[in-house]
Amino acid sequence: MADANTVTARISFQVTALEELGATNTPSAPAASRRVTHSDFNFSPTTNPLTASSDPPVSKVAGFLVTLADSAGEIDLTALTGTNGATVDATGLRLQALLIEAASDNSAVVNIAPGAANGYDLFGASGSVDIAAGAAIAAFLNDAGSNVGASECILDLAGTTGDVVNVLMVLG
């Protein structure tokens, strides 16, 4: 009998910017004191790391590439690609965290939207997001997403044939 997989996820979103103020803005401050670090909006969930028993829970993970064919692609949350090509079925679970990166050599933006049929409302029923070549989006949904089911499981991708997105999904 095979051992069951366990998932632990550490979620963190960080953008730290150092702003160096000019001497004309702060003439009474020495150069070393004219630096402002903007980092207070960096984010980590209250519960970190996330596990099957945390709130929100995580129990499955899928990391995969999607290559657009005929300018389109599809992500089926009931048939994701997991480690070593194993199928990950998220039925009954919620998408808790998401990272999507568009390859830097893509020809155009890749649009991600709820599927035309059985759409998963990742960004709301009519919501979609465009990801430019070399750009990425990350989201922590904190158990607020919909449960995956047969009638709500598809994300549609649209762009240029051959464009690639790297996808990491944490579910629970």
In a domain, residue 155? The reply is yes
Beta strands in 8-82 (DSSP E): 17-20, 35-38, 60-67, 72-76, 80-81
In a domain, residue 108? The reply is yes
Residue 4 confidence (pLDDT): 65
Residue 156's CATH number: 2.60.120.220
Q: pTM of the predicted model, to two decimals? A: 0.86
Residue 43 confidence (pLDDT): 86
Residue 45 confidence (pLDDT): 81
Tens of pLDDT, residue by residue over 67-102, are 999 999 999 999 999 998 899 999 999 999 999 999
Domain that holds residue 129: 60-171
Cis amide prior to 57 (ω within 30 degrees): no
Measure the CA–CA gap between 81 and 20, rounded to whole angstroms: 45
Q: Which residues pair with 149 in a beta bridge?
A: 152
Tokens in use for 130?
Answer: 């465009």
In a domain, residue 1? The reply is no
In a domain, residue 158? The reply is yes
Determine what percent of the chain is predicted with pLDDT higher than 90: 67
Task: Decide if pLDDT at 1 tops 50.
Answer: no
Domain total in the chain? 1
Tens of pLDDT, residue by residue over 107-163, are 999 999 999 999 999 887 678 999 999 999 999 999 998 999 999 999 999 999 999
In a domain, residue 35? The reply is no
In a domain, residue 3? The reply is no
CB atoms within 10 A of CB 10: 11
Tens of pLDDT, residue by residue over 2-30, are 556 889 998 888 889 999 888 887 888 88
